Structures are given as structure tokens and as C-alpha cells.
Structure 1
Amino acid sequence: MKISRFTPDELSAAFGIDMAAVPGIGPGAGWGRVAPGGRSEAHQHDETEIFVIVRGTGELLVDGERTPARPGTVAMFEPFETHVIENTGTEELLFFDLYWRDSARAAAAAAAAPADRRRFGKRPVFVFSTPPTPNGDLHLGHLSGPYLGADVFTRFQRMNGVEAWHLTGSDDHQSYVADRAQRDGRTPAQTAAHFSAEIAATLALMDIRPDQYTVTQADTDYPDGLRSFFSRLVASGAVNKRATPALFDASTGDYLHEVVVSGGCPGCGEPTGGNICEECGEPNLCTDLTDPRSQRSGEPPRRAAADRYCLPLHEFQATVAAHHRLGRVPARLRELAHRVFTRPLLELPLTHPAHWGVSPRESDAKGQVIWVWPEMAYGFLHGIEALGRTLNRGWRAKAPQQAWKIVHFFGYDNSFYHSLLYPVLYKLAFPGWEPDIDYHVNEFYLLEHQKFSTSRRHAIWGKDILSTDSVDAVRFFLARTRPEGRRTNFDPTAYETLLSDTLIGTWQRWLNGLGSRIDEHHDRRAPDTGVWTPEHTAFLDRLAVRLTAITRSLGQDGFSLNRAATELDGIVEDTVAFADRERALAGLGPWQDETRTALALELAAARLLARCAAPIMPRFGRRLSAALGLPDTADWPGGVELLPAGTKVTLTDTVFFLGGDDKESADV
């Protein structure tokens, strides 16, 4: 027998609380102590872990859900569950900790269905695509990134029974809007309204219809809500008005930031505009640009002090690190945070002298507006409240709930704001809220190996390529080539080749041919299976492997449209190869039972393709389901299913994709 007793002197800091190991009893073991008001860091690991509460009271926070903890409570955490223990009482909270590695259990947890992986359960899931700047319409670079990603993610989660909503809007108060308005001879409000409507129309052409689309300048509740949020930041004591260095046009005296100033990035040295570098993702203060130039006069600016509300962001490294331990934060974003916090000082202005935007309610902020990027942090909460009114839910921007799950899709050039600045602002405005946020970031999509650019008019616009006949092909091509983890290039010739050779020449040819064989041998009805061969069972298993791969590719941890699109094409490639091999027995009487099984398995593959393609290619999924005599199901498949014998099949003449020379329109 081995005896161990709790000894406070053996405790040392670990995971944000006090821990002491208990060696020699088999599994890993230890004592944990949490001081009143204290809490552990949010963390997850591959071990299975058990807490036994011995003394004190508190709460266990697991993937956003709180559970009371008191003496006698025994809690087991599965591998990879994000968990926190918090002391809500007046005396220390003491618990005994057991943990061990179970490779099979960890593998099962990692491979669990994505809807179960983080146990979304009944939590509301708010999926945000970065609100676009209404200084132009959307091009394929925009569409391939946040908007397609958020749309597919939301569709997939809903198919898995999750309450998920897609939210976005138009970021009306950007300085880029005012700059475009000046060039076009319009007011900023007119420019924003015009392009906001164009953007919404382009999203609809892409079959992206957000559940909430907030037009910031047109929402009458928005300005006061934003002002209240900003006043919370000021009331925290961390955001104060102070005189800090700024740039001004040497000729006109205009204040310079963002689009109206350029120079070399102080971080990577690449050319950049004011306030953020698109290459390395680091912020700048404009005054630290190398060889700055005013975009108004082309001259070097003069330097002078400007009174602005500023945030000493350099003081909040620990806040950002704690936030990054809670949700899905790609290494690219954590590395960016490391670079930013190597700076000794980063006094970040949160207001700027300007006329276009929302002015704070603070009396000493005359002539200033709230910078649009901190504004966006509030805008996300406002969008949730607006959606809540539509759904008759009691969500409030001024009272964010711990149960909320937020998922952000954005381009890498917005990484600093989303993953560093906003967590700090939320902590200051709502100290008791720990936002549970997953981040999905894309790189730049290139055209002719240069960045798509609204301002330079270097783009293929969504409206130039999207139609009811092309939308699924465009969505599939963008899913397959979008810039995940690396920059990729849109090639119009490659798109046309994929459409003609893959979608029409392979997918549609197989489906129409399958229909012809069903017509000829089974009177347009799905056959029942007959005799199974080892090749049949191997093919069924191969389809199951494809289903698992697609499921993981669309889930919240391993989300990748590149992989999902590849796996969809893999279903067709596997099936075409299988059909080619099995066709050798077609028409041979002694093997008719085996031939029936092969045809039934091809129909099972078509059924699987219809359901798995639905998040990426919704029209194709509906059309294929209809041709298979199936309803437009809203559920994600739990396995490979045979088409019920006797089901009427109309694959032969169904047009799924149209080439550039086709004049007819497929039924929707």
C-alpha cells in the first residue's frame, strides 16, 4: 500500500493555479489548489483526466459550459476537451487530479464527428465572415476566402444539427469608403450604400445568403450601441486620451492614416499603407513607416502630436495568450502575436481626427471618430443582437453570454485586429466574459500572380462569372484552389478545364451513363443488391473512408475546403474506376446478381456525393438528390447508404453542369 497526503509546501505554479505531483501510484496524479477568485488557464491535452473535489466550491468550465463543483464532485475530461476550474467561494478549492494516456480513446476523440468534437450541443454558434468594405464590389479573391468558407462551414454544421448562423454586413465607416467617395464625387454615405447593395447582390449570386447582414450606417441603433461600447473601454481605465506622434500632409495639413499614407513596413520592410501591413500582418502607427509619403500630395508628411484615445496594447500580452489557449487559433496567428509583443511599446490609437464615422460620446473627443477596426469588435456583438431580434432570442450586445460560440473567417491581413486587438477590447469592456472564438484564416488569392485589388481594379468580379448555371462550378473551383496556408493563383484556363474535363467530362458523364444503364437493365428503377464479391465490399469500405475524410475536412478543427473538394472528386474517381472494372460482367447472364450489386453500389456513391457536396455545391446536391428520387435532405450522412430498391432514377437526361458554349439552362 502507498500513502500520499496533501502537503501545501509541495505546491508550485502550474496552469495558472497551484499543483503538486503524487508519484508512484500508477497513473499520473497530483493535488490542485485554487485560491478564492482564482482559476486555471484554459487548456486541453491528449490524456483522460479526472478531478475529485475535496474542499471548497467553484465551477468547471468545459467548452463554454459551466458545471458547479463542490466536495464529492467527480469530473472526467475526455481527451482534447478544453477545461477550466474556477474558485467561486471564499475558501481555497482543493481537488485531487488523476490523468493517464489512452491512445485508443484519444484517437477516437480526435476522429469524432465534428459536431460532437467540441460539443457544440445546444450552444448558439455565430459564424462571421469579415464585413466587406463598401468601396467596391466583391471579386473572386474576396469570395474564395471568408465568404465561401463561412457559408460552407455554416451549412455543414446545420446538417449536423448545430444551431449555426452566418453573419456579416458592410463595414461602412472605413476610410477607404471616404477616399473612394472623394474620387467619385459622392458622399461617403452614398458610396457605402451603393456598394453595400452591390456586395449583397454578389453574395446572393454566389448562393451565400447570410442570416444577418448589418449595414452599419443604416442601422439606427448602431451608433449609440457603439458609443456605449467605447465608453466601457474608457471606463476600464486602460483607454485614455493622450497626445502621441502623428503624421500630417505638409501642404494641406490633413491628418494622415490608413489609405492616405504609405511607406515601408517597420516590421518586414515591404511597401504598406498606414496602420497595417498586408504582407507580414503587423500593425504600424504611421509615424514608424520608413520614407512615408502622403497619398494626397505625394510629399513626405510633417510630424506633430495629435490628441487621440489610445490603448497601451503592449500591456496585454498575457490576456491575448490566455485567449489563444481557449479556442482554435492557428499557429500563424500565435506567431503573429509573438512578433507584435516583442515591441516594448505599442500605444495604439483607437480614435482618429476625421469626419466620416461615429464620434464617441466623451466630451473631449470633439472632431474625432472611433477607429473602424475597434468599431468592428462591437459590430460583431451588434450583429448577434440584431439576429436575436429576428429569432426572438434574448441576445444583447452589452451582455455577451459565455455560452456563445463565435467562429471568425477572415483574410490574413485582418489577423491582428481579430485575434489580438479584439480579445483585449472584449476583456476591457466585459471583464467577466471569456469569448470562446475559433479563427479560420486564408491567405491572398492571386490573379496573374498579383493580389486581387479593388482599388487597382485588378480583379475578376463575382458578377462577371456567376450565374445560376455556373455558381456550383465556381464554388467547387474556389473551394479546391482557395489560399489555405499559402497563396494560390486563380487561372481562368484551369477553371475552364476543370469545368469541361472534371465536372462535365467525368462527373456528369458518369452520372448520365449510370442512368442509361439503370434505364436499360432495370426500367429506370434502382436495383436491389444481389451477390457481393470482395471487390464490392472493398469499394463500400472505400466510400466510407471518403465520407470520413470529407467529414473531418468540413469540421471545426480540420476545416479545409481544399481537402473537402479533393475528397468529393475522389468519390467520383473511385466510382468511375470501380464501374470500369465491373462493366466487364455487364450482360453476362451467370453474373447478373453480381452486376446488380455493382449498380446498386454506384447509386450509393451517387447518393453519398449528393449529400456530401451539399455544403459546397448546394444546387448540384439538390439536383442530384432529385434525380435519385430523394428529398432534399438536411442531414449529414452517418454512413454510406444504398438507394432503396425500386426508387425511380432520372439520371440519364439530367444536366448538372453547363459548359461555356451551352445555351440551355439546367433546372434548379
Structure 2
Amino acid sequence: MIVDKYAEDRLAAAFGIGMSAVEGLGVGAAWGRVVPGGRTEPHRHDETELFVIVSGAGEFLADGERHPAPAGSVALFEPFEPHVLANTGEEDLVFFTQYWRDASRALRQAVRPPGRSGFGDRPVFVLSTPPTPNGDLHLGHLSGPYLGADAFTRFQRMNGARAYHLTGSDDFQSYVADLADRQGETPAEVAAHYSAEIAATLALMDIPLDQYTVTNVDPAYADGLRAYFSRIAASGAARPKETAALFDPDDGRYLYEVDVAGGCPGCGAVTSGNICEECGEPNVVVDLADPKATASAAAPVPGAVVRFVLPLHEHRDFVLTHHREGRVPARLRELAARLFRRDSLDIPITHPSGWGVAPAEDDVEGQVIWAWPEMAYGFLHGIQRLGERLGEDWSAADPQPDWKIVHFFGYDNSFYHSILYPVLYRAAYPDWEPDIDYHVNEFYLLDGGKFSTSRRHAIWGKEILSTDTVDAVRYFLSRTRAEGARTDFTRKTFTEAVDRDLIGAWQGWLNDLGRRIEAGHDGVAPDAGNWTPEHRAFYARLGRRLDALTGALGPDGFSLRQAAAELDGIVADARRFSTSETLLADGGLADDARTGVALELAAACLLAHVAAPVMPRFAGRLAEALGLPEPRTWPRGVELVPPGNKITLAGSVFFRPVAPDGAEA
């Protein structure tokens, strides 16, 4: 017999509270205490964990929902299920916990079953970084946040989630004002022109948006932004402070972002002011090595200015805790750890400028709210605008705990999205605990160099996109997407992939299958007959492809590169299978042969459904050629095409050759 009692003097710090281990029970066990107003650190682990609330009162926070935890209640958390226990009472909350490893249970939880979004009925807001309207979108842009967010949203909807894709036009960027100066236009004119171009390019890319916020023309945007900023100012998290700044030696203009360049204080690479695209670290302009004013290439004049400044270093523990709650790739966690090794980091969040939204506070007259902190509000404003159209009570001033936010952005924006924005949200809405997942892509290169709007080193979306090329572009960008490392686009590899893989392999197999069905089955889908071991093995292999694609497009393991590889894998499996199966018909084994054809049709049916998030037009055309409706739900298994369906694969053209310049041939 083992007897153990709660003893306050045995408690030691663990998970942000006091805990003491209980030995000898055969499973992990411990007593725990949460003091009034306290809570455990957010965490998840591979063990199954059981909580018994012994005394006090509190609540469990899990997946954006709150669950009462009075004395006498029991709660079980599955492996990897995030959870927090908070004390909401006036006395200590004492609990007993047991936890144990069950490999099969953990594996089931790690691999989400097909057909489940993982988000329940919560609204899922998929946010791609609003593009700067100083140029149209090129393939580098499209391959990253926008294609990723679109495929993610499509997959979630096929699995029953209330998912919405939101972005907008980031009109108040300094880069817009810079281009306007060089072109002799107003910033509003430049922003309006390119915002419309960007929206048109997204439409050509088959990226429909549920909300596209144009910040300079939305009538409620500026006032909402001011109210949001005033919340931050009132919290004391950001406050007016005189700090060093740089000024142009010729005209005395304040320098930041595009107006100044120098060596990054973090990695030494040449960078513009405020952020380094190479290492992802911010700078405060005065810490640039050998800075130069871009207008004159002369050394700036040092000075000082009063701006609203956010002492980011004061929020280190909060940011690192936030990163334990959601999906935060190692790349982002490493950036945060590297950044917080600095002793201090004061980030100005207002700047002297005539282009932007001025805060209500008169401490910084002649300044505007910096476009990057502004964007944090812009996302919430977009959610409110979407809610107004849908009849939902979503307010930018009152974000809700059940909102699931999923960010898609490039690595050069990582600091803003994953470090700065959580701190700003905490300051503006201290009672809101945002549930955010982060998906980051690296730079997509063009012929070995960075895509660049300002240098016009780019293939613009409108150069290459058409009704006949859009699926090929989406496929190739998915297949070569810069996930974890930079990748390269060349026109030669793109045209070769279309000719060899999409036309030669995919379309070649589907057309051949259609011809065999016309010749042997009067152009209709046959019913399966006798199943051989090879048939069963192929059917099981298709099931494994479905599982792999479910994981590749799901929220935890999202990877368009892996998804494209699995789509190629379905086609490769089917082509190998058909090579041997065609011998059965020639050998007079009709019952076996029609099973093989039925299974190839099952592979085509599976391809139509699982390709839909990546290649929606192709998926619809393929389903139509199989006599099926447009794919709208994610398959739960591998299904045979109904016998008797009219099959028109033989004459179907799914892909067309592209010219060496990437356009339709």
C-alpha cells in the first residue's frame, strides 16, 4: 500500500506553479497548487494526463474554451492537447494529477483522423500578410503567404471548418510614399492603383478572399486604429520617449525604412532601416553600421526625437510563453531567443511622417502610427468587417477567446507577426489570450536572386497566369515552395515540369485510362470484380496517400511541398499499377481486369478530391470527367467511382504546354 498526502512544504517550482512528485504509483503523479490569480504555464506533452481538483476553484483553458474546475471535478487531457489551469478563487487551488505514456493513443492524436479540421466550430481566421501597394504581386509573393493561406483555407472548409481568408492593402507603408515621390504622384494615388492590381492578380491565381481591407479608403479604419493605439498608450506598455534618430544631411528629413540603409547590427548584411531581411532581426536605424541616406548616399546627421517607444525586452517571458501555446516553427522560436539575448530593445512605434494615421495622443504631433504595429489592428478590423457582412458579432475592440488565428507570412516579417503583435495585443486587450498558429516561408528566388518589387527582378503574376495555366502555376509553386530553406524558380524547370509531369505523367495516365474504358467498357465505369492480393495492396497504398495528404494539408504539419509530392505519388502509383493490370484483360481475366480499372478510377477520384486545395480548377474538371460533382468535402476513405458513370477522360485536356517565357504556348 502507498499513501501520500499533500504537503505545502514539499512544493517546488514547475510549470509556473508549485508541484511535488508522488513516487511508486506506476505512473507519473504529483500534487499541485495554484495560488489565487495564478495559472499554470501553457503546455502540451505526449502523455495522457488526469487532473482531480481537491480544493479551491478554477477553470481549465483548452483550445480557446474555458471549462469550470470546482473542487471535486476531474479532467482528462489527451496527448498533445494544450491546457492551462487557472485559479479563479480567493484561496489556493490544490489538485492531484496522474500522467502516463500510451504510444498508440499518442499516435492517434498526433495523426488527426481524415475528415476532421481540428478546430471544431470555432471561427478560423487565416491571415496572409497584407501586401504593400507599391507594385503588383510576383511569383515570390504568390508562392508564399497567399497560396499557402488559400490552400489551408480550402482544406479546412472541405473538413467542415468555418475558415476565412483575410488580407488587404497595406496602404500606409513608407514604401508607398517613397514611390509616390519618385513618380510625382500622391501616396493615395499609388496605393489605389496597386491595390487594385494586387486584388486582380489574386483573383487570377484563384485566391478568393473573404475580406480584403483597403486601409486608406475604409471609412472606419482610421478611428478604429486610433482607439486601438490609445489602448496601448493607456496601458503604459508604450510611452513617449526621446531617443536617438538619424536625419538626412541635405533636407533634414527624418530617416527610417526605405530612407536609410547600412549594416545590420545582428548579422552584418546590408539592410534598410527597421528590419533585416536576412536574419529577421529589427534595428532602430541608429544602430546600423555605416548608415547612408538613400536619397543622397551621404552619412546621416544624428539627432533625437520623441516617439512612442515599446521596450520590447520587458516582455521576454510573455513572448516565450506565447510561443509555447500555438504552432510556432523552430525558426521563429530561434529568432525570439536570439533577439531576447539583447539587454534591451526599445522599438519606436510612431514615426514623423505625413503619410499614415496620426495617433489621438498629442505627445507626438506630426507623427503617424508605424505601419507594422498598425497591421496588428488591421487584422482585427478585417475580422470585424467580415463579421458585419456575415451577421456575426465580431468586434476589433473585443476579440474573443474562441477565435482561432492562423498567420501566413514570409520570414522577413517574422519579428512583427510572432513577437511584436502578441505584445501589442496583450497591451491593448489584457484579458484576451489570442490563440495563434504561425506558418512561415523563406525567400523564393528567381534564377538564384531574390524576387524584388523595387528592383523589378520578378515574374509578375499577370505575366504567367491565365485560365489554362493557373493550375500548373499553383502546382509548381507548391512543389518548389520555400519551406525551411530558400528555393529557386526558373522558367526552364517550370516548363519542363508542365511537359514531363503534368502533361506527360498526369494527363497521359488519365487519357490512357479513358481510352481503355472506352474500348473495354463502352465508356462507363465498370464495377469491381475479383480482387487479387495486388488489388488489395494498391487500394491500401491509396489509403496511405490519403493519410499523408491529410497530414500535409492539416494545421500541424502543413506543407504544400509535401502535398505536391503526394499528389505526384498517387499518379506514379497508378501508372505503375496500370502497367501490370493491362495484361489481365489481354489474358482473358475479365473479372480481375475490371477490378483493376475500377481501382484506377478510384485513384483518379481520390486525385480529384485531394488536389482541390492545391489545384481547384483541375480538381473540378477531373471530377466532371469521372461523372462526379465538384469536390467539396475531404474524403474519409478511398471510394470507387459508381458503376455506370459516364467517363470522358480520353478526350479531356487538363494541362497545356507553356512557352519558354512561362506563358501559355
In the alignment, the residues of structure 1 paired with residue 192 and residue 659 of structure 2 have an alpha-carbon distance, to the nearest angstrom, of 36
Q: Secondary structure at the match of 1:256?
A: coil
Counterpart of 1:507 in structure 2 is: 506
- Offset at residue 116 of structure 1 (A): 4.4
Partner SS state of residue 86, structure 2: strand
From 651, 654, 663, the counterpart of 1:656: 654
CA contact (8 A) 2:612 2:631 kept: no
In structure 1, the partner of 2:549 is 550
Q: Give per-residue Cα distances to partners, 1:268-324, cap 9 Å, x unaligned.
A: 000000000000000000000000000111100010011101011111101101110
Equivalent-residue separation in structure 2 for 1:435 and 1:108 (angstroms): 27
Conserved? CA contact 1:445–1:487, under 8 Å: yes
Q: Does 1:316 align with 2:312?
A: no
Q: Which amino acid aligns with 1:289?
A: L
Q: Distance in 2 between matches of 1:72 and 1:116?
A: 32
Which residue does the alignment assign to 2:23? 23
Task: Report the alpha carbon displacement of residue 649 of structure 1 after superposing the two structures with TM.
Answer: 0.9
- Could you say if the C-alpha distance between residues 520 and 115 of structure 1 is closer, same or farther in structure 2, counting changes exceeding 3 Å? closer
Query: How do 1:131-280 residues align onto structure 2 when only pairs under 5 Å count?
Result: 131-280=130-279
Match of 1:626 among 619, 624, 627: 624
Asked if the contact 2:619/2:631 (under 8 Å) is kept, the reply is no
TM-score, normalization by structure 2: 0.98
Letter in 1 for 2:235: S
- Determine if contact 2:127/2:165 at 8 Å carries over to the other structure: yes
Shift of 1:73: 1.0
Partner residue, 2:83: 83
What is the Cα deviation at residue 112 of structure 1?
Answer: 1.8
- 1:430 corresponding residue in structure 2: 429
3-state DSSP of counterpart to 2:33: strand
**Superposition pairs of residues 473-622 of structure 1, within 5 angstroms:** 473-589=472-588, 591-622=589-620
What displacement does 1:115 show? 6.5
Residues 115 and 162 in structure 1, CA contact (< 8 A), matched pair in contact too: no
Q: SS of the residue aligned with 1:586?
A: helix
Q: Deviations over 1:474-518 (max 9, x none)?
A: 000000001000000001111101111110111111111111111
Normalising to structure 1: TM-score of the pair? 0.98
Other-structure match for 2:125 = 126
The SS at the match of 1:530 is: coil
- How far apart, in 2, do the equivalents of 1:432 and 1:114 lie? 35
Query: C-alpha displacement at 1:137, in angstroms?
Result: 0.1
Q: Secondary structure of 2:586's partner? A: coil
Shift of 1:113: 2.7
Which stretch of the first structure deviates more once superposed, 521-530 or 149-158?
Answer: 521-530
Establish whether residue 5 from structure 1 lines up as the match of residue 8 from structure 2: no
Alpha-carbon distance between aligned partners in 1 of 2:102 and 2:366, rounded to the nearest angstrom: 62
Aligned counterpart, 1:33 = 33
Q: Percent identity?
A: 64
1:115–1:350 distance in 2 versus 1, CA, 3 Å: farther
Report the alpha carbon displacement of residue 523 of structure 1 after superposing the two structures with TM.
0.9
Contact 1:114 1:555 in 2 (8 A): no
Question: 1:114, 1:556 within 8 Å by CA — same for their partners in 2?
Answer: no
CA contact (8 A) 2:444 2:489 kept: yes
CA distance in 1 between counterparts of 2:272 and 2:248 reads 15
Report the alpha carbon displacement of residue 524 of structure 1 after superposing the two structures with TM. 1.1
> CA, structure 1 residues 179+10, in 2 after alignment: closer, same or farther (shift >3 Å)?
same
- Check whether the contact 2:308–2:348 (CA below 8 A) recurs between aligned residues: yes
Render the CA deviation track for 1:96-153: whole Å, top value 9, x for unaligned: 1010000110111111237747x41011000000000000000000000000000000
Q: In 2, distance between residues paired with 1:661 and 1:367?
A: 52
1:537 aligned counterpart, secondary structure: helix
Corresponding residue of 1:111: 111
Q: Distance in 2 between matches of 1:55 and 1:408?
A: 39
Q: Distance in 2 between matches of 1:290 and 1:337?
A: 22
Give the C-alpha shift of residue 661 in structure 1: 6.8
Counterparts of 1:567 and 1:417 in 2: how far apart (Å)?
Answer: 33
Give 1:335 deviation, angstroms.
Answer: 0.6
Letter paired with 2:261: S
C-alpha distance in structure 2 between counterparts of 1:199 and 1:568, whole Å: 29
Within 1, Cα distance between the matches of 2:4 and 2:403? Answer: 41
The separation in 2 between residues aligned to 1:615 and 1:533, in whole angstroms, is 33
Matches within 5 A, 1:431-446: 431-446=430-445
Distance in 2, matches of 1:649 and 1:538, equals 25
Match of 1:642 in 2: 640
Distance in 2, matches of 1:449 and 1:114, equals 38
Cα distance in 2, alignment partners of residues 505 and 417 from structure 1: 44
Q: How many residues end up aligned between the 2 structures?
A: 662
Residue of structure 1 in register with 2:415 after alignment: 416
Letter in 2 for 1:618: P
Q: Which runs of 4+ in 1 moved over 4 A?
A: 114-117
Matches within 5 A, 1:319-330: 319-330=318-329
Q: Give the equivalent residue in structure 2 for 1:468.
A: 467
**C-alpha root-mean-square deviation of aligned residues, in Å?**
1.2
- Secondary structure of the residue that 1:51 maps to in structure 2? strand
| Structure 1 runs not aligned, ≥5 long | none
Question: In 1, are the aligned partners of 2:381 and 2:396 still within 8 Å (CA)?
Answer: yes
The answer for the alignment partner of 2:280 in structure 1 is 281
Deviations along 1:144-191, whole A, 9 cap, x unmatched?
A: 000000000000000000110000001000000000111111100000
- Residues 50-70 of structure 1 show CA distances to partners (whole Å, capped at 9, x for unaligned) of 001111111101111111111
**C-alpha contact 1:115 1:157 (8 A) present in aligned 2:** no
Q: What are the superposed Cα offsets for residues 565-619 of structure 1, whole Å, 9 maximum, x if unpaired?
A: 0000100000001001111222332x11000000000000000000000000000
Contact 2:55 2:71 in 1 (8 A): yes
Query: Partner residue of 1:48?
Result: 48
Matching residue of 2:63: 63
Amino acid at match of 1:473: A
For residue 11 of structure 1, what is the amino acid of its counterpart? L
Distance in 2 (CA, whole Å) between partners of 1:502 and 1:41 is 49
Return the letter of the residue paired with 1:353: P
CA distance in 1, matches of 2:322, 2:25: 34
Please give the alpha-carbon distance, in whole angstroms, between the structure 2 residues aligned to 1:426 and 1:660: 47
Matched residue, 1:400: 399
Aligned mates of 1:150, 1:259 — CA distance in 2: 28
Equivalent residue letter for 2:600 = E
Residue of structure 2 in register with 1:96 after alignment: 96
Instruction: Give the Å deviation of 1:40.
Output: 0.6
> 2:131 & 2:112 partners in 1: Cα distance?
34
Deviates more, 1:498-507 or 1:189-198: 498-507
Distance between the aligned counterparts of 1:479 and 1:467, measured in 2?
Answer: 17
**Partner Cα separation in structure 2 for residue 596 and residue 608 of structure 1:** 18
d(CA) in 1 for partners of 2:347 and 2:532? Answer: 68
Q: How far, CA to CA, are the matches of 1:149 and 1:633 in structure 2?
A: 19
Q: Tell me which residue corresponds to 1:374.
A: 373
